[in-house]
Amino acid sequence: MPAKAIVITGPESTGKTTLTTQLAAHFQSPWLPEYARGYIDNLNKPYAESDLLEIAKGQVAAEKEAIKKAANVIFLDTSLEVIKIWSEVKYGHCHPWILQQVEKRKHHLYLLCQPDIPWQPDPQRENPNDRDQLFNLYLHELTKQNTNFVTISGSKNIRFTNAINYVESYIHIS
């Protein structure tokens, strides 16, 4: 039986990577970094719309491999919904392959991080002013896709405590 994949998702600078690494350490489980970050770091130029398809393909391949190797639970620092939403916001549409993958690749649980913590600048972050609007797009997408998700909010410590509780209750009931 494949490992349960738990996705930590949401707009930029909402503590996804921090929460992902905390949960992985707490549950002594592996975690998968966001594929886009490494891809963009190695580009040597600004990314283009065509790069989003390559990022999506890399994300899918990395997820498949990581889930196959994990024992019980694996934490994913984002998934394809991030690429879909960003593509639609930045370019007004999304590649059909990405849309198909979003439809067919449902993970076990999604923790949707609210943008209620301060923005942290980062060379790859582009949108400090529309995080609430982007959060609503994530909320809509996860609802439309009929995913199993909960929202995570509050300070770093409260987020972590609540996320542990959600994951523990999910693991016990599934």
- Tens of pLDDT, residue by residue over 65-117, are 999 999 899 999 999 999 999 999 999 999 999 999 999 999 999 999 999 98
Q: Mean pLDDT for the chain?
A: 91
Task: Please return the burial class of 171, using the count of CB atoms within 10 Å of its CB with bins 0-12, 13-18 and 19+.
Answer: middle
Q: Given this model, what pLDDT does residue 130 score? A: 87
15 contacts 159 by C-beta, under 8 angstroms:
yes
- pLDDT at 49 exceeding the cut of 60: yes
In order of 79, 89, 117, the CA distances from 150 in angstroms are 15, 23, 17
In 3D space, the residue among 65, 62, 56 whose CA is nearest the CA of residue 36 turns out to be 56
Q: Given this model, what pLDDT does residue 173 score? A: 58
Strands (E), 54-172: 73-77, 109-113, 149-152
Segment among 30-34, 66-70, 122-126, 146-150 with least mean pLDDT? 122-126
Residue 154, SS3 per DSSP: coil
Q: Given this model, what pLDDT does residue 170 score? A: 87
Mean pLDDT of 114-134: 78
Confidence of residue 174 (pLDDT cuts 50, 70, 90): low
